[in-house]
Structures are given as structure tokens and as C-alpha cells.
A and B are shown apart, each in its own frame.
Chain A
């Protein structure tokens, strides 16, 4: 028993000092007015009051939620499809598994750069195709809808392999006998999927959903590279909004935004954990 605490001490200390304490510290800073070249002054919750009348902040919250909803839905859907494929006995399965894993392990900044060239107006590969097929060019990164879709597509590309891996683990936990039995009973592939496979991997899907949701809530890298929050601030997630205030030296307000994001993440993850716990 005492051993448990002694052995956990090193990890506990560093996690407390570098993660937990700074979160409390950020909360403390959010109660101050901190501007470069002047003494911080205690202002209570006025930074938080300012949030509610800040239209750009509200838009940022809405964008974050929209982004999480659309990207995570697409990721779960495609992730299930990919997992079903790599679970089949296909030729060169090992190689194919390695290949589809690639987007997930390359740095997210790099994937942002790569999609930047895919979406580029004049050089972009997608417009290269669009011009041949339909004779038009799409302004991907310059319009609000285009920029939103670009971010979703880039994020989906990067994270589908991760979702597929988790769901693959679920698929492999289903004993073959169940399928053999249902085939004898005359169940088609679709009904086998919906009535046997899906109910047996629901916990795995939920697990993937938790990981993806909390990760999409803190999206930063691809936004930084791909859209820079634009056009006209329409693709600014909360992380990026806080970062912009840090950059301008307004640490108090930026911290308040970070605290809101933290609370949002905490509520969402505890809620999703509860659902998993009920299974």
C-alpha cells in the first residue's frame, strides 16, 4: 500500500507541477488584468463578464462546436469503414495497414502544410482536378464554407487511422463462431453488421468518440497552418482565440478563454465517460 504511493511519487510530482498546477495558475491569472509593461491588477470575474458580450468569443465557441460535430462524425463513420476493411483477409494486409496508418503519425503541422497545397487556389491539386472535370476553380481557403470544409477534411484525413485502430481492436474481440452461427441462420451482411457487429463494438466506438471529441475541442496545429483562423476570423477555435490574446500580451483575457475551454472539455469528457460507464 505504502509502496503504491512511493512508486507513484515521481510521476505525480511532475504531472502536478507541469499540468495540474498550471491549470490552477491559469485560472488565477484569469482573475487579473495582465497587460505587458504594467503591474497585474486583480479584477475578479470581469474578464469572464467581458466574454459574454464579446461577439468574436461567441462565434469562436460556435465554430468549435460545429467543427467538433462535423469532423468527429465523419471520422467515426470512415473509421468504422476502414476498420471493417483492414479486418478482412485481403492481400498485402500488413502493408495496407502500415500505409493507412501514416497520416496519423506524421506531424499535424506537416499534414496542415500538405493540405494547404491540396487546397491552394492556383496550384492546388483539388482545383487542378476541378478545372479538368468541371472547368472551375474553388476558393477553398478564402471563403468561410471552403475554409471550414478544408479544416474538417484535413482533420479527418489525419485521424481516421486512429479511430480505425481502436475499432479494429473491437472487431478482433468478436469470436468467429457468432458469425458462423448467424450465417447458418441466414442473416445477410448488412443485418449481420447492424445486429451483431455494431452492438458488440459499441464500447470501442464510444472510446474512439471520447478521444476524438476532446482532441477536436483543442484543435490548434492545423488551424494555425491551414487557415490562420480566417477568413475574417470565421475559423477560430477556442484554443486559437486564447492564443491570439496571449500573443498580444493580454494574458488575463486569454487565460479566461482557456479556463472556459478547460471546463467545456471536462464536462464533455465526464459526460461521455458516464455513458461508457453505463455500458
Chain B
């Protein structure tokens, strides 16, 4: 009885999860939509070739933009969150340690509440439609997540290790970078993946602060496809959607442990 219910649940979640993804990949390889109306299915690589290499669709450019923005903002965010995480794990009084919840609270704010002002400021500074505007916002919004994940890990590193380094006269920043940093490699990996994913998936800022293909990121490209043509180019949309999911899917299947580890250690006490 229990086995039966379990198998039923397994089937339900597998189908529910995979059906849309399989359909997406299928459509990205099909010439047209005819087979969904009872026609024949013809497979092709044309959609991928077109979106990556043709003149009119600059999806290749979007991928490069996304990699630059996500790569840099995840780096910056990690770099900035490390001192905070270290401070919370070593120098916080019981009262101050509560403030880590404030970090968490901040990520819950609706980003739209900052867009009105940021857009005006960025326009005035002339950095609308630059990588800078996206890197700055993505770094700030992913920072609390970075602090949270790194704090959960650095707190577990025995405090005697860095205390003795400090006593030996290593200095605070050398202790942090030469002792704590190498020790927290696994946490750095999972934190980096999570921060990268946040920036790679982020849409609102990426959409509001970009104007043309020179800075648009992957999600913006995927969302705006139909504006370019009269008829909705499903093949292109699904090919670009599949491409944007590919690195993430590979990453998750291989690094599932890191991500689950990083999250369960981080978000739940």
C-alpha cells in the first residue's frame, strides 16, 4: 500500500516536472508546430543555428552579456559578503548577531520598490544600458544570500584556528584571506553557484535598465522574442529557452549536493 502511494507520487511529480521541459527541448529541434496539430514531425538544428549565428537574432550576444554580468556580479557579491560573514561568525555579540536577520529581510523587499528611483539616478549618471547598472544592482540584491550561506559555513570553522593566527600576528585580512578563505572552498562553490544563478535568472532590473542588444541578458532576450516578428517564432523561443537552461541543468544535476547543502545550511537554521 505504502509502496503504491509512493510510486504514484513519484510518477506524478516526474511527469509534472519533466513534461514542460521535454516539450521545450522537442520544439526547439522541430521545424514547425505542425506535429501538435496532427501533422508530421521533422527535426532540425535550424532554430539553434539561426538564433546563434544569423544577423537579425542576436542571442549569442545575450549569452555573452549574461555571462559577463552574472560572472562578475557573483564574484563581487561573494567578495563583499565574505567579510560580513566572517564578522558575524567571529565578532558579533548575541545582540548584534540578530542583525543577520535584517539581511534576510532586505532580500524579501520587492525590487520594484527600488526601480523608480534607481532608473532616475542611473539615467542621470548616464549608466542606463551598461553592464555597470546591472552588475551593481545584482551584486547588492544577491549579497544577503552570499552572507547567509558563507556565515553558516565559516561559523563551523573552529575559532581556535584563526585566533592562533591572529595571535601569531597575521593581521585580520591576512587571516581572512589565507586561512578562512581556503578552508571554506566547498561553501564558496555552492555560494558562487547560487549567486550566479540569481543574476543569470534575474529579469526585472535586466529588463528595465537595458535598451538594446548590446547589454540585454538572456532572460530579457527570451521574454522579448515576439516583439521582433509578426508571427510568434516558437522554434526560436524554445531553442533560446533550451540554451539558457542547458548550463543550469548540467550544473544542477552534477552539483545537486552542493546546492541543496548550501541552501539547507543557509536558509534554515
Enumerate chain A interface residues (CB-CB to B < 8 A): 1, 3-4, 6-11, 14-15, 17-26, 28-30, 81-82, 84-85, 88, 90, 94-103, 105-115, 117-118, 122-125, 128, 157, 161, 165-166, 168-170, 189, 204, 207, 210-211, 214-215, 217-218, 220-221, 224-225, 238-239, 242-243, 246, 251, 254-255, 258-259, 261-262, 265-266, 269, 273
Contacts and interface: CB of A to CB of B under 8 A. Distances in A.
A4 B256 contact: no
Interface stretch (B41-49, B51-59, B138-146, B181-189): B138-146
B144 to A, nearest CB: 7
Contacts of A106: 21, 201, 244-245, 248-249
Interface in B75-102: 80-81, 83-84, 86-88, 90-93, 96, 101
A11 B81 contact: yes
A275 B237 CA distance: 44
Interface residues of B, number: 87
B115 A246 contact: yes
A236 B24 CA distance: 26
Contacts of B204: 220-221, 239
Interface in B1-48: 2, 6, 9-10, 13-14, 16-21, 23-24, 27, 33, 36-37
Nearest to A109: B219
Given A114-B20, A218-B111, 11 more contacts: A4-B96, A11-B81, A14-B139, A25-B118, A111-B20, A128-B36, A189-B2, A220-B203, A254-B116, A262-B109, A265-B108
Contacts of B93: 1, 4
* Pairs A-B, 8 closest by C-beta atoms: A25-B117, A18-B140, A7-B87, A22-B114, A218-B110, A4-B91, A169-B264, A22-B117
Contact of B121 (A25, A96, A157, A246): A25
Contact of A221 (B2, B110, B197, B203): B203
Interface string B168-207: 0000100000000000000000000000010011011001
Question: A-side binding surface: helix, strand, loop or mixed?
Answer: helix
Given A15-B143, A261-B110, A110 B234 contact: no
Given A220-B112, A258-B110, A14 B234 contact: no
A99 B17 contact: yes
22 contacts: A6-B87, A8-B83, A11-B83, A14-B139, A14-B143, A23-B114, A85-B10, A99-B14, A100-B17, A102-B17, A105-B248, A107-B200, A107-B201, A107-B218, A107-B222, A117-B27, A124-B36, A157-B16, A207-B268, A218-B112, A246-B116, A246-B208
Given A11-B147, A109-B222, A4 B87 contact: yes
Contacts of A110: 24, 219, 222, 241, 244-245
Nearest to A107: B201
Contact of B84 (A11, A24, A166, A246): A11
Interface of B: 2, 6, 9-10, 13-14, 16-21, 23-24, 27, 33, 36-37, 80-81, 83-84, 86-88, 90-93, 96, 101, 103, 105-106, 108-121, 136-137, 139-141, 143-144, 147, 172, 197, 200-201, 203-204, 207-208, 218-220, 222-223, 234, 237-238, 241, 244-245, 248-249, 251-253, 256, 259-260, 263-264, 267-268
SS of B interface (majority): helix
Contacts of A25: 114, 116-118, 120-121
Nearest to B138: A18
B120 to A, nearest CB: 7
Contacts of A251: 116, 119-120
A10 B116 contact: no
Contacts of A166: 263-264, 267-268
